[in-house]
Amino acid sequence: MKKIIIILGIILTFLTLIGGCKYEKSANMGINAEGGAGFAIMRGDTLMPVEEPVFQRGEAIYYVMFNVGPFEQGEDGRHWMDVDMRIRGPDDEIVLQQEHLLGEEGHMYFPNGFAESPYGVYESTTALRPGRYEMTLSIYDMIGKGVVTKIKSFELV
């Protein structure tokens, strides 16, 4: 019996180590990312989804949310979206924090009240040390006061 418990402990430790660098958290109030979220890289002029969130230092990292909404419509018939982004480093230090990235440029019309694929992009540098980082992306409905936030980890090598 003791041998089985030890083996189970080793298996659980192994699973935690191989899966521990990948996680995703989500919170929403009033709006949702109905299509989920994921990392992508730019190839030419096309965003390509990545299966494993492992990137080279110096690479641009895109975090995309899909089908975000429904946004409340203003009296002028337009919606108003804004975006905040934060990057935390391997020691939980804040590497980058940007707020209100769209400002007035986020005041636009979304068909059916949904933004198709809003994203945040982090231009990593070769000066960063390798390790696990975390990206937080928050999308705000500035009229309806809703927010959806996604947090996901990625690895820089």
Per residue in 128-149, pLDDT (tens digit) is 999 999 999 999 999 999 999 9
pTM of the model: 0.81
Residue stretches of the chain with pLDDT short of 50: 1-21
In order of start, what are the domains of the chain with their CATH numbers? 23-156 (2.60.40.2550)
- pLDDT at position 23: 55
With CA atoms as reference, report the closest residue to 126 among 155, 157, 152: 157
- The pLDDT assigned to 2 comes to 45
Determine the pLDDT at residue 25: 72
pLDDT for position 29: 84
* Antiparallel, parallel or unpaired: β 147-156 and 54-55: parallel
Q: How many angstroms separate the CA atoms of 98 and 102, rounded?
A: 10
Q: What is the rounded distance in angstroms from the CA atom of residue 157 to the CA atom of residue 56?
A: 5
Quote the pLDDT of residue 3.
Answer: 45
